[in-house]
Structure 1
Amino acid sequence: MWRFRGTDVAAARALVEAAFDADVTLFDTADIYGPDNDEEFGAAEALLGRVFAEAPGLREKMVLASKGGIRMGVPYDSSAAYLAEAIDASLTRLRCEKIDLYQIHRPDMLTHPQEVARALDDARTAGKITAIGVSNHTPAQTAALAEFITVPVVSHQPEFSALTTTPLFDGLFDQAMQRGMAVLAWSPLGGGRLADPTDERSRAVVALLDEKAEEAGVDRTAAAYSWIMAHPARPIPIVGTQNVSRIATIPDAYKPQWTREQWYAVLQASMGERLP
């Protein structure tokens, strides 16, 4: 929902319903989504809230995820007081009583993880959030939070694509598998670089994705998503398209089946070197 924007509620509702038609059930937003679209802080949540007001049944059909902890000009604040305020503000904008998955958007280095845990536990006890996750956190930062919280941290949200492979090597996927955490992969198309490769490395990756796409009878986007999904941590690509016809093609990601040789060939092309 990063690019979920505007004032046309009917068009916004059409996007949500198109996602349901494509068997998408997880909707991931954040309070900071808005300024990047030249809109107000919280604009994406507020637009979704207007959709819920028009069609309340849609809320019950989805897993609603949001994020907080970024403040304009600060930039990060996960203090107990601010998180309590941010969660209440998100609920008001979303016009709902509970957020299914609440994630700390970026780690706040000036807040002790025990304080973050206390704020999240309080919100969960009050029935305002159900599950707790982290976004853009290292495995060590996640482990520190998990040490103080009374329920499991259930999800990671890292950047991951065929061009950004850090979670494979920094222990994040290993931690996710060890703890049974979901992985929500943001920018799964490499920030647009897979659509428009401009350097030798991206062109090498794209060539291999295109080979797989042709083999499976899908487009490059589906091949890129499927490469992500092939990892045993079972990453879930966070698809950002705001186009109804593109949303309809999301299930094509299940069609390509990667052999080990093919999958590792993409990784090595991304690395620019062979694995030892």
Structure 2
Amino acid sequence: MPEPLMQARPKHNLGQSGLSIGPIAYGCWRFAGSDVAAAQNKIETAIACGMNLIDTADIYGIDNPAGFGSSEALLGDVFKAQPALRYDMVLASKGGIEPGVPYNSTKTYLMRACEASLKRLRTDTIDLYQIHRPDMLAPFEEVADALSTLRAQGKIREAGVSNYSPSQFRALQANLDVPLASHQPEFSALELGPMLDGTFDQCQETGALALAWSPLAGGALINGKTDDKDLATRLYAVAGVLDAIAAQNSVTRAAAALAFTMMHPARVIPIVGTQTPARIKEAASAIRVKITRSDWYRVVEASLGRRLP
């Protein structure tokens, strides 16, 4: 029997801050819309399960009646109700999406966006502030200037990027005096792009945290459903392999799918966004899943729809 990989998953360190992060993070993109007590319960459950990186963004909640900023505002209300929670977590947020534009990474906008996030979150410092999506009209030196200024002012501890290509990451880094602390792409058993385009290679090269959004493929890996006919065949094949891994470990398919992402040597931290405390606990069981090298590659081949050479 091949030896299972990744039986122990140590904590990660965030940039130069020395802050320690658990192997799974909790995301707030669906967080807005609940009352403060329910929101507090979700955050407390996540932290109790070792998900101490809490990831949000100013754009989260825009589809909710409360609109732009409502996810951050709700998290700020949680801090108001239970101030100690702020110190139990590593707080991450993002800026740079301006509704109707759609992207704005000018220094003026990023400074204003970060300050607005701080106000909504009712905190003095954001531990990790990421550029949400690349602004193709913003010079990298201007983006770097904004991040450096925010850091010098103590408004952020570390800076990172989300949805950047490796070349965009490199160009921004060239204008910064401190290393970028994170790279946040979409990654799941159905979306292998970061393994293939150099993103995770760059994380291993630079030490940037590899944060994965949508690690359950927007729920498709849980319910096995998709409206994309081209994706359906791959989804069926991937689900079959994950189900076998789940059965071997007495966990759900969701836990097996999260464990798949965590096995990459970039030490990927998947961000789970469920709004159900029971499912938060279920996701936490991914840390005890053991997957053999051959089974991990079976997932890859099922996702690619072809055998590896």
What is the CA distance between 1:7 and its match in structure 2? 5.0
Q: Which residue is 1:235 aligned to? A: 268
How many Å separate the matches in 1 of 2:129 and 2:142? 16
Q: Which residue is 1:85 aligned to? A: 112
- Which amino acid counterpart does residue 250 of structure 2 have in structure 1? G
- Which amino acid counterpart does residue 257 of structure 1 have in structure 2? K
Superposed counterparts of 1:180-195, under 5 Å: 180-195=207-222
How many Å separate the matches in 1 of 2:122 and 2:284? 30
Superposed counterparts of 1:147-186, under 5 Å: 147-186=174-213
What is the CA distance between 1:256 and its match in structure 2? 1.7
8 A Cα contact 2:224 2:236, kept in partner:
yes
What is the aligned-residue RMSD (CA, Å)? 0.9
Post-superposition Cα deviations, 1:230-265, rounded to whole Å, max 9, x if no partner, equal: 110010010001101111223210122111110011
What is the aligned counterpart of 1:247 among 274, 277, 280? 280
* Structure 1 runs, 4 residues or longer, greater than 2 Å off: 36-39
8 A Cα contact 1:29 1:66, kept in partner:
yes
What is the aligned counterpart of 2:131 among 94, 97, 104? 104
What is the CA distance between 1:8 and its match in structure 2? 1.1
How many Å separate the matches in 1 of 2:45 and 2:307? 41
How many Å separate the matches in 2 of 1:51 and 1:200? 42
Superposed counterparts of 1:1-276, under 5 Å: 1-6=28-33, 8-198=35-225, 199-276=232-309
What is the CA distance between 1:85 and its match in structure 2? 0.2
How many Å separate the matches in 2 of 1:119 and 1:238? 26
SS in 2 for 1:87: helix
8 A Cα contact 1:22 1:249, kept in partner:
no
How many Å separate the matches in 1 of 2:109 and 2:223? 40
What TM-score, normalized to structure 1?
Answer: 0.98
Give the percent of matched residue pairs that are identical in Structure 1 and Structure 2.
54
- Which amino acid counterpart does residue 117 of structure 2 have in structure 1? S
Q: How many residues align?
A: 276
SS in 2 for 1:227: helix
Q: Closer, same or farther in 2 for the Cα pair 1:246/1:27, shift >3 Å?
A: same
How many Å separate the matches in 2 of 1:36 and 1:27? 20
SS in 2 for 1:156: strand
* Structure 2: gaps spanning 5 or more residues: 1-27, 226-231
How many Å separate the matches in 2 of 1:207 and 1:40? 39
How many Å separate the matches in 1 of 2:138 and 2:263? 36
* Structure 1: gaps spanning 5 or more residues: none
